[in-house]
Amino acid sequence: MVYGGYSYLDLDYEPGKEDFVVLFYISGKYELEKLAEAVASESSVGTWTDIKTMNDYVFKHYRARVFKILKVRENEGFVYIAYPMEHFDLKNFNQFQASVLGNIFGMKEIESLYVLDIKFPEKYQKLFKGPAVGLDGIRKYVGTDKSGRPHVGTIVKPKVGLTPKEFAEVAYKAWANGLDLVKDDENLVDQDFCKWEERFNEVYDAMDRAEKETGENKIYCVNITDSSIERMVERVEKVVERGHNCVMLDVYVLGFTALNYMLEITRKHKLIVHAHRAGYAAWHRGNYGVNFQILEKLYRMFGVDQLHIGTGVGKMEGGALLIKRMHELAEFMEGEEKFYLGSMDFSFSEHIKPIMPVASGGLDPTKVDALVVIHGNNVTIQAGGGVHGHPNGTESGARALRLAAEAVVEGVSVKEYAEKHEELKKAIEKWGYVNPEDVKKRLEFESYREELDRLALSKGIEFIKNVAWHI
């Protein structure tokens, strides 16, 4: 079979250590082999027709190779493609993106194209610096490295609209009542009603006050995201001038160039970079796209320190199995293949430190027991509505969330803890209780992985996206 005059099928090929391996799901107008070749061609050296300028050297050294095809239907299935390192401008991720995550999405003959996973070679990862602070550094700063308690935080709500003073007052109440972290929401930066500098100064003072009162180190994730690099850099300078140690970036909307630029600067000051992923789902959901786990690997390699990864029990997409996988990608160095989730095995290079996984979106204290079944204790649990929506307000909501985290380290269920703690009792009366046993049952599906693999193979991406990701 050929596409554009050349064959990209090489089913005997075994990818080497220096190959990038990409797992695609493809469907389209022709048989799968042809579609796979079209993708391999357009994303590497080829085009729609044969060309007189192609030579053996180029074709041998720089082309992509389709080395494995798992058909679901004649014109649909899983395709593994290997790209040689020499193909890429390794210092420049945009070039990788334009190749492997570029033109192919627009090809007429392709009806759906989803990039499930990418294995980045060790040698490539060595070109990235990884997080400056990382999971252990954040724990040390907050003082939870010994207790191992989950971190707890809040997003000030309403998302936008409060004045700097009102905002700082809410933040103070949250910290003073036990939360480790307060953050801006993804859509709050420097609006007229809440100018960035005034808010930062007010909140910094509030944090200072709460730290003195509680004797604990607190984190404020101040959103510096901007389409102007100069403004972001100025904000970092102001953060550093006041002796603060954390900024937040909306990493997806910034794109990799601006993110990389900013991380070079934040790294110099050893700032904690809190990464909000707003917008990721435009890539991650639907029939055309890129799975979030690829972004997650990249964000960790580029060097963010804490990252929103979903919850498994809250308002954002993704069931327990999928979010457990996302958690593994944040906390661990290695992971096994999980074909039924569309994932290959992976290993991070030794210098790419683990990051703090952030569970956020639709959470409240009554979900903490269920959350730790998925995430373990190495997680920051954030609740906006679930703190400020507490029947007795922010102070009680913050206390309830901290109590839930304390219950975890004491090995007592939140439900039991609630018998002695009014704030938790009130939270359960309002929101109910998410039973961790239900989540454990969902995770037990992992022991049927052969059956899940078989279903993924026979039903294709519909099974993965509509069933396996929702268990």
- Three-point CA angle 315, 298, 269, nearest 5°: 100
Q: Does 363 interact with ligand 3PG (rule: CB under 6 A)?
A: yes
Instruction: Establish whether 421 is a catalytic residue.
Output: no
Q: Which is nearer to ligand 3PG, 137 or 385 (CB)?
A: 385
From the list 174-182, 358-366, 390-398, 449-457, the region that binds ligand 3PG by CB under 6 A is: 358-366
Of 55-63, 121-129, 286-294, 361-369: span binding ligand 3PG (CB under 6 A): 361-369
- Please report how close the Cβ of residue 81 comes to ligand 3PG at its closest, in angstroms: 34
Quick check: is 297 catalytic? no
Kindly indicate which of the ranges 127-135, 246-254, 378-386, 447-455 contains the residues binding ligand 3PG, using the contact rule CB under 6 A.
378-386
393 part of the interface to ligand 3PG, by CB under 6 A: no
DSSP for residue 149: P
Count of Cβ atoms closer than 10 Å to residue 315 Cβ: 11
If the CB atoms of residues 367 and 426 are measured against ligand 3PG, the closer one turns out to be: 367
* Binding track, positions 280-309, relative to ligand 3PG; x by CB under 6 A: ----------------------------x-
Q: 287 is written with which tokens?
A: 């029939």
Q: Does residue 318 touch ligand 3PG according to CB under 6 A? A: no
Binding residues for ligand 3PG restricted to 170-199, rule: CB under 6 A: 185-186
Point out the catalytic residue in the list 68, 87, 151, 157: 157
> Which residues partner with 310 through β-bridges?
none
Inter-residue contact 28 to 111 (CB < 8 Å): yes
Q: CB-wise, 64 or 179, nearer to ligand 3PG?
A: 179
The span from the CA of 467 to the CA of 447, in Å, is: 16
Q: For residues 440 and 437, what is the distance between their CA atoms, to the nearest angstrom?
A: 5
110-119: strand order across its sheet: 65-73, 76-84, 19-28, 110-119, 288-290
Characterize the bridge pairing of strands 272-276 and 246-250. parallel
Decide: is 460 part of the binding site for ligand 3PG (CB under 6 A): no
Q: Which of 87, 173, 274, 276 is catalytic?
A: 276
Minimum distance, C-beta of residue 155 to ligand 3PG, in the bound complex (Å): 4
List the structure tokens of 369. Answer: 């027991």
Cα dist from 399 to 1, 154, 286, 415, whole Å: 65, 12, 39, 15
245-253, 344-352, 360-368, 410-418 -> range binding ligand 3PG (CB under 6 A) = 360-368
Q: Is residue 362 at the binding interface for ligand 3PG, with CB under 6 A as the rule?
A: yes
Q: Residue 152, interface with ligand 3PG (CB under 6 A)?
A: no
Q: How many residues bind ligand 3PG (CB under 6 A)?
A: 15
By the 8 A CB rule, do 405 and 152 touch?
A: yes
Q: Toward ligand 3PG, which CB reaches closer, 156 or 210?
A: 156
Residue in the shown chain whose Cβ atom is closest to ligand 3PG:
384
Secondary structure of residue 378 in the 3-state scheme = coil
Spatial separation of the C-alpha atoms in residues 321 and 352, rounded to whole Å:
24
Query: What token pair was written down for 366?
Result: 């009554």
Q: Is residue 315 near ligand 3PG by the rule CB under 6 A?
A: yes
361 binds ligand 3PG (CB under 6 A): yes
Interaction of residue 225 with ligand 3PG, rule CB under 6 A: no
Q: From the CB of 132, what's the least distance to ligand 3PG, in Å?
A: 22
Neighbours of 286 (CB within 10 A): 11
- Amino acid at the residue 248: M
Alpha helices in 177-291 (DSSP H): 196-214, 229-241, 251-268, 281-284
Binding range to ligand 3PG, per CB under 6 A, among 56-64, 119-127, 130-138, 383-391: 383-391
Length of the chain: 471
DSSP reduced 3-state for 461: helix
Encoded tokens for 416: 């039991």
Amino acid at the residue 288: Y
Task: Tell me whether residue 342 or residue 384 sits nearer to ligand 3PG (CB atom).
Answer: 384
Q: Which residues are catalytic?
A: 157, 276
Q: Give contact residues for ligand 3PG (rule: CB under 6 A).
A: 155, 157, 185-186, 276, 308, 315, 360-363, 383-386
